[in-house]
Amino acid sequence: MNDQPQSFKWIGTRSVRPDGVDKVTGRATFGADHAMPGMLVGRILRSPHAHARIRSINTDRAMALAGVKAVATAADFPEIPSEAAGSGGEGGEDFRQMSDNVMARNKALYDGHAVAAVAATSAAIAEQALGLIDVDYEVLAHVIEIGEAMADDAPLLHEGLITKGVDPKPSKASNVAKRFEFALGDLDAGFAAADVVIEKDFTTQQVHQGYIEPHAAIASAGGDGQALIWCSSQGQFMVRAYSAKLLGMDIADIRVIPAEIGGGFGGKTTVYLEPVALMLSKKAGRPVKITMTRDEVFRGTGPTSASEMRVKIGATKDGRITAADATFHYQAGAYPGSPVQLGCMTAFAPYDLENVRTVGYDVLVNRPKAAAYRAPGAPMASFAAESVIDMMAEELGIDPVAFRMMNAAKEGTKAAYGPKFRAIGYEETLQAVIDHPHYQAPLGENQGRGVASGFWFNIGGQSAAAVNINEDGTAVVISGTPDIGGSRASLALMAAEVLGIDVERIRPIIADTSAIGYNDMTGGSRVTFSIGMAVHQAAGAVVEQLRQRAAALWDIPLEDVTWQDGQAVAAGEKAAEHEPLSLAAIAAKAGKTGGPITGNASINAQGAGPGFGTHVCDVEVDPDTGRVTVLRYTVVQDAGRAIHPSYVEGQMQGGAAQGVGWALNEEYIYNDQGQLENPGFLDYRMPVASDLPMIDTVIVEVPNPRHPFGVRGVGEVPIIPPLAAVANAVKNAVGLRMTDLPISPPRLLAALEENG
């Protein structure tokens, strides 16, 4: 859907993915595919306890084992003061806590916490060596759930942790790291003006990003102090900066080469293995490779938070929301840093509200530290808010999409978290749902339809790009952010649009940290927006040089040369004397007109366009088993401008699929000892192809006026509405409101039996 006239040759086309052939033929190299001469195998010893003081670690027996070349513990890493670590992605971290998470110092804070590592000549020897490391633990009381962690007598993970964001400042330590609040208007007056007020509690469970490729890294520390890291991550510059900090090295002494990445979804925006592999390599004097097992991925990396939430909404009889209030408690894991602040900021953002407040609490528990997961914090908050929105629409007897339209945010709406929206496309997504045949399709017995909306900010950030013209007129586009969702294709299309040449004559590559300027991570839905802006500028600089070269060849003023459809065209009085010069023709003579033709751009991109989406979900519930089958699913989203529609659609479908899994089956399950009982894809139930219908997509295009091609980020919005869309559909199918996720068969069946 696009009310704007199409005026592009390449933008909006569906070119072949540059990396597609290598990936489908198995030639692409991922993190675990790389090897180096003399390489050792690294393995990590992990705590079996949810909470334990480490009295001592004795590695003598492990080091004495033939074939073991190095052993590392926290004692080998420098102690780092507390200092914020900018991630360039979807949330910052603290370096001290990051160091403690990479290798436990003093206490193990969750089942799976790394406590030691070995490097040996074979995997078998490395595994044997782990069994020879003697760790003396003092097992401590642990706490797994939010409510228990917030109790006055709860076991403390960090004895010196004082809650931030509370006035007056508490004098007693607790497991609540921080309180957040965002407010607008007069909440009391808003609820007093309401004819109907609905308040409800909700919970969601901890879920993992579920990327197919486990974390993997190989590190080689040279005798000259220089180090090389090859790894799968969402940002090679992040890996370089974090590894340097944790090992006390200069950034210039580390080169990080990005491998292809088999999924990340926010879960690879920090380090786990890379500093450990590098430390082992420094000690052993040989390259060290560490690859996580699936068990380690679940136990030792960051899932997203579980949540406990309360939402209260008031509205008039005619359907105008007068006030909205929410309180969110999110699990941070063992260290502060849940995405609860983002949940507070996004929960009610789709709506034009005069009176609104959100309060959030960052709560520590004995679980792995939470990491980003695709629109971190927003899906949970949206589940609660959009469920109550549906409840209110039902109470008032108003169609749920019409109710959302009546209260929709639009250009000029002031969000509770601060800014006024510029041009946005939320109303357009709602209208597209109303116009879609899915929304009016008939339903059968035990079938229901749910709708929900979602919002994500999208970000810009620091980006560097280069465009180099080869002697034959082909071009190389260089960027520094790993390609997760097809960004190389999008960058090539944007460069082709500016240069005016066939996209097949452009080769996009992802450079290592020594070959391109600094880039923030692939995260926050920033890459096509921010890197695209840098590529646009770099390609524009190339066009200026091409005009200059043509002017020199023709001996005419620069202002008499235009660039049209990939060639220099003469204008002015002598236009008829000169035939157009193609890019290839100018490139062939570059040596005679000034040398290589290159363009570079380094920016801190501003003006990211907020993204909105609305989803429609049909389900069928088996009342005898509690099984929910998704029958039909439609995703509608404002992409600003779909640079490569196929990859935009893929992002929309992928987010919906992950959200459906979150809504229906996925959860971390812990036993009484605080140990994870389902650390694998057999017991952690992610949706597979047979669980899902073909997910329909509708791309709405309301161009972002602050981007040269109108781009908005698209990767995170589609995971936000599904939790509520599925829950609302289940409610409409069986008349029962499920407020606790996942709506798994045992949980739904028990609720159905309890409610008759």
Q: Are strands 597-605 and 461-469 parallel, antiparallel or unpaired?
A: antiparallel
Residue with tokens 């999208």: 458
Rounded Cα gap, residues 55 and 368, in angstroms: 21
Give me the DSSP letters along 185-224. Answer: S-HHHHHHT-SEEEEEEEEE-------SSPPEEEEEE-TT
Rounded Cα gap, residues 666 and 285, in angstroms: 43
Rounded Cα gap, residues 271 and 285, in angstroms: 22
Rounded Cα gap, residues 62 and 117, in angstroms: 10
- Return the structure tokens found at 528: 């096509």
Residue with tokens 């045949």: 437
Q: Which amino acid is at 159?
A: E
Q: Which residues pair with 77 in a beta bridge?
A: none
What Cα–Cα distance (Å) separates residue 510 from each residue in 264, 636, 725? 16, 31, 37
DSSP-H helix ranges across 589-679? 590-593, 645-664
Helix (H) or strand (E) holding 98: helix 95-102
Please give the angle made by the CA atoms of 267, 273 and 276, to the nearest 5 degrees. Answer: 150
716 is catalytic: yes
Count the Cβ atoms, other than its own, within 10 Å of residue 85: 19
Total count of residues recorded for the chain: 756
Q: Which residues pair with 201 in a beta bridge?
A: 310
Largest CA distance in the chain: 89
The gap from C-alpha 298 to its chain's centroid, in whole angstroms, comes to 17
Q: Which amino acid is at 74?
A: A
Rounded Cα gap, residues 322 and 415, in angstroms: 15
- Return the structure tokens found at 44: 């990590």
The gap from C-alpha 421 to its chain's centroid, in whole angstroms, comes to 23
- State the catalytic residue, choosing from 199, 716, 753, 754: 716
Rounded Cα gap, residues 611 and 598, in angstroms: 34
Q: Is 527 helix (H, G, I), strand (E, B) or coil?
A: helix
Of 2, 297, 316, 359, which Cα lies nearest the Cα of 163? 359
Rounded Cα gap, residues 476 and 492, in angstroms: 9
Count CA within 13 A, CB hemisphere, residue 550. Answer: 29
Of 209, 220, 303, 298, which Cα lies nearest the Cα of 256? 220
Give me the DSSP letters along 120-170. Answer: ESSHHHHHHHHTT-EEEEEE-----SHHHHTSTTPPPSSTT---BS-SSPP
**Catalytic positions, written as ranges:** 716
